[in-house]
Amino acid sequence: MVDLLPILKTRFGFNAFRPYQQEVCEEVARGGDALLVMPTGAGKSLCYQLPGVARTGTTLVISPLVALMEDQVQKLQSLGFKAERIHSGRDRSTSRTVCEQFLRNELDFLFIAPERLAVPGFPEMLAKRRLALMAVDEAHCISQWGHDFRPEYRMLGARLPLLRGGLDGNARTPIVALTATATPRVQRDILSQLGLTGSKAFIHGFRRTNIAIEVTELSQGDRAEKILEVLSNDERRPAVIYAATRKNTEALAAALKEKFRVGIYHAGLNKDLRDRTQTAFLSGEIEVMVATIAFGMGIDKANVRTVVHAALPATLEGYYQEIGRAGRDGLPSQAKLYWSFADKKMQEFLHEKSYPPLEQLGRIFSTVQAIASPEPKEFVRARTHLDSEDFDAALEKLWIHGGVKVDPDETIHLGSEAWRDMYQRQSGHRLEQLKKMDDFAQGTRCRMLHLVRHFGDEQDSGKPCGLCDICAPETASLRPLESVERAEVRAILAMIREREGQSVLRMHREGAPKVERKKFDVYLSALAKSGRVSVEERTFEKDGKSISYRTARALGDEEGDESLEGVMIPSSAPSAPKKKKSTRGAPKAAGPGAAQPISVPSESARVAVVALKEWRLSEARERKVPAFTILSDRVLQTIAATLPRDLAALEAVRGMGPKLVAKHGGEILKVLSPVCER
């Protein structure tokens, strides 16, 4: 066995291994397969680079993003390794040269995108040489249960085993799969798809010891004020505030900018502006970044002191990634999450929008089945009696899951029956993720431990963190009850015992004592956190929709009600019974990125729709995909109605992100220019 430490020092210039690197490197260097799940920044790349070098020969690296590839290649080259990459951004002759270098055994590392393996002749070319090692970076992309599923990754399962050799009696090439975000379910999926079942999994390092997590139930309207208060402590900045929507980032930023140097970051702003804001945040010129989750990937700022979630995140994996951006320097940091039952309702509403009712998909499917010959989209739609927005949403999902095939000109053909199962599983999985997030928010055990367990970190100490609002309620800006409040809480507990099984809403409305709804929720959540009450979610079906509500049940016996020991409420909760206070919401500012619809004579709009559709069809034909995947009808209509004249205006159109603009922006403006000149 080669000694790895000298290689680490001389070739990579590091003095020592970071936690867990050595055991992974040893396992892979000796030819074992491995799955490695460690948080971003833990140093996963070394875990394929070092064993690859130790094994001598070429290490093949599969990576999903050109930018990631370029970055890694450049780092390896600067260390003196021969590293190359083949991706869509490079021309044919360069790629050919790289292949020749590979065949001459001149490369230490070859980076490719997964879709390269579908190019005829390419896997055969790779198979001509024995690889030292294969590394699959961002391996969670292979699983449809991961939060960043990429269909191109799916073919790795079929192709990689063929490249491993080992049939001729030689040892097989090892595979190492790496990711920062994989729940146990995604881990199992990665292992089975890559044929690695039975190999070693290293799941490590999810515990962060310097982040104090606090979760507070707070109504939407009170959050801006609360965040202002949190950040007014100088030690809590720099900070990143995550808001749920672009509009909310603008509104929050408007509320904060009197006091702090604030930047806004979301996908609706153009790339230039985003880059400038990001640089200003990195340099410290901006101290509070208000952003959607579009912000943060690959950002390396060590001294972020606070990460705030101004709304309930969609997944626990996403939440963990985002709070992980706090305290990279190891100094004490905070993660604050504000949420309310209304957030959860909003998430469910969004879920229903992105997963239309099964019945609607079924209606389209059986209509197409009954017609028996391929027909244009409008013809099919008329027969389903769905309105065009519902129809488009349902059709797209049906298409994704194979229930129909759609030509570039949007003629619809029958697909396969299997869509139903797949669709239900996916939708169910998303709902499960929402539930996990909700369980976390309502949780009554150590927050950090909850996260560590969620990721399946089995070797973790299992100790409570001592920092979060559950472990250390006294530091979490909570206060004990005042005497009037104690009386109210006792009465509420008694009432809950009496009305067990009723909805929380009804308890509040009909039960005694009469307290304001907000205060009632504060009490209820304090009772739940201290383990005196369990709040459960129930659903019932009404008109084909499932409606959820909460019920409460008292735990323990009545004798314990007297003391109310450990029942703490947020110090921001108003104390004395209040007079009517105006519920000040965050100002509804229309920031610089907000799209201002311009009214355009409908004649121009009509001409623009025709021109855009024509362009869209030719684009769809060229790429052999349905027209709606190029641009949806709704976005197309909005573009025609607002007639943007430059890329910035185009990017501000709802539904056009920077990616779409980069891909089609120039073309779309060209199509529009004759209309604009009219």
Nearer to ligand ADP, 18 or 436 (CB): 18
DSSP string of 158-204, one letter each residue: HHHHHHS--TTSSPPPPEEEEES---HHHHHHHHHHTT-TTSEEEE-
Nearer to ligand ADP, 45 or 270 (CB): 45
Q: How far is the CB of 551 from ligand ADP (least distance, A)?
A: 43
Q: How far is the CB of 599 from ligand ADP (least distance, A)?
A: 49
One-letter-per-residue 3-state SS of 234-276: HHHCCEEEECCCHHHHHHHHHHHCCCCCEEEECCCCCHHHHHH
Out of 4, 17, 134, 640, point to the residue binding ligand ADP (CB under 6 A): 17
- Alpha-helical segments (H) within 503-554: 504-510, 517-529
Nearer to ligand ADP, 14 or 149 (CB): 14
Asked if residues 182 and 190 have their Cβ atoms less than 8 Å apart, the reply is yes
Backbone angles phi, psi at 109, to 5 degrees: -135, 135
Q: How far is the CB of 260 from ligand ADP (least distance, A)?
A: 29
If we measure between CA atoms, which residue out of 323, 392, 304 comes closest to residue 181? Answer: 323
- Helices 246-256 and 223-231 pack at an angle, to 10 degrees, of 50
Please give the angle made by the CA atoms of 605, 610 and 612, to the nearest 5 degrees: 90
Out of 5, 11, 14, 561, point to the residue binding ligand ADP (CB under 6 A): 14
From residue 164 to residue 203, the character string flagging contacts with ligand ADP as x (rule: CB under 6 A) and all else as - is ----------------x-----------------------
Q: How far is the CB of 278 from ligand ADP (least distance, A)?
A: 18
Token pair 């972020």: residue: 304
Asked if residues 481 and 540 have their Cβ atoms less than 8 Å apart, the reply is no
Distance from chain centroid for Cα 141: 12
Nearer to ligand ADP, 35 or 611 (CB): 35
Q: Is residue 85 helix, strand or coil?
A: strand
Number of residues interacting with ligand ADP: please give it, by CB under 6 A. Answer: 13
Asked if residues 38 and 25 have their Cβ atoms less than 8 Å apart, the reply is no
Nearer to ligand ADP, 282 or 505 (CB): 282
Nearer to ligand ADP, 40 or 477 (CB): 40
Nearer to ligand ADP, 46 or 648 (CB): 46
29-48: which residues touch ligand ADP (CB under 6 A)? 38, 40-46
Q: How far is the CB of 303 from ligand ADP (least distance, A)?
A: 16
Asked if residues 225 and 308 have their Cβ atoms less than 8 Å apart, the reply is no
Q: How far is the CB of 227 from ligand ADP (least distance, A)?
A: 29
Task: Give the CA-trace dihedral at 438, 441, 443, 448, to 10 degrees.
Answer: 120
Q: Which stretch binds ligand ADP (CB under 6 A): 10-18, 95-103, 239-247, 272-280?
A: 10-18
Q: How far is the CB of 102 from ligand ADP (least distance, A)?
A: 23
Out of 5, 7, 11, 18, point to the residue binding ligand ADP (CB under 6 A): 18
Nearer to ligand ADP, 46 or 346 (CB): 46
163 secondary structure, DSSP code: H
Q: How far is the CB of 17 from ligand ADP (least distance, A)?
A: 5
Q: Which two tokens stand for residue 572?
A: 């921001």
Q: How far is the CB of 204 from ligand ADP (least distance, A)?
A: 11
CA dist 341 and 528 (Å) reads: 14
Asked if residues 476 and 335 have their Cβ atoms less than 8 Å apart, the reply is no
Nearer to ligand ADP, 45 or 411 (CB): 45
Residue 424 binds ligand ADP, judged by CB under 6 A: no
> Could you list the residues that contact ligand ADP (CB under 6 A)?
14, 17-18, 21, 38, 40-46, 180
